[in-house]
Structure 1
């Protein structure tokens, strides 16, 4: 088998392309950032209640970022990597 045919055969074996992985890593970044923003707000003393757990950042922003990240993961999985190459 020629070098070109071997490269083409290896290329066709990949389920996800470069664009898929790029979107997956962007989605993972959103998810990680959401969980980082959600962390904290606890109290060292169990008898003291800390109101910081109800901040806008933890209730609205962080879960929204996690959901956006999950949506990007679905988009990355469904993205057809061969579509861009056929147009070139």
Structure 2
């Protein structure tokens, strides 16, 4: 009977891959990526015959792509984060 109970327990035991901490870190990464794309947008000209040098600003060329790459790094960290790992300082 004990073996049968273990099968039942295994059948209904839903262990999720990600925990709440993973989702929070991944949401922060998505927010940073979105901010990078928002900073990258704009700078166009209504008249196609007029050049707008604003498209080559520091914000669009350096800052926004850096934020997007940092956001992707935060996403990778959120995916690889093990929330069940105990902190060594809490022992």
Normalising by the smaller structure, the TM-score range is 0.7 to 0.9
Q: Secondary structure at the match of 2:84?
A: helix
**Among candidates 31, 34, 56, match of residue 29 of structure 1:** 31
How far did residue 81 of structure 1 move? 2.1
Counterpart of 1:9 in structure 2 is: 13
Question: What per-residue deviation string (whole Å, max 9, x for no partner) do you get for residues 17-71 of structure 1?
Answer: 1110010000001000000000000011111110000001001110010000000
In the aligned structure 2, how far is the partner of 1:65 from the partner of 1:9?
39
Gaps of 5+ in 1: none
**Runs of 4+ with deviation above 2 angstroms:** none
Q: Secondary structure at the match of 2:28?
A: helix
**Among candidates 12, 18, 21, match of residue 20 of structure 2:** 18
Q: 2:42 aligned with 1:40, yes or no? A: yes
TM-score normalised to structure 2 length? 0.79
Counterpart of 1:74 in structure 2 is: 76
TM-score normalised to structure 1 length? 0.81
In the aligned structure 2, how far is the partner of 1:83 from the partner of 1:62?
34
How far did residue 84 of structure 1 move? 3.9
Aligned residue-pair number:
81
In the aligned structure 1, how far is the partner of 2:46 from the partner of 2:72?
32
Q: What is the CA RMSD across the aligned residues, in angstroms?
A: 2.4
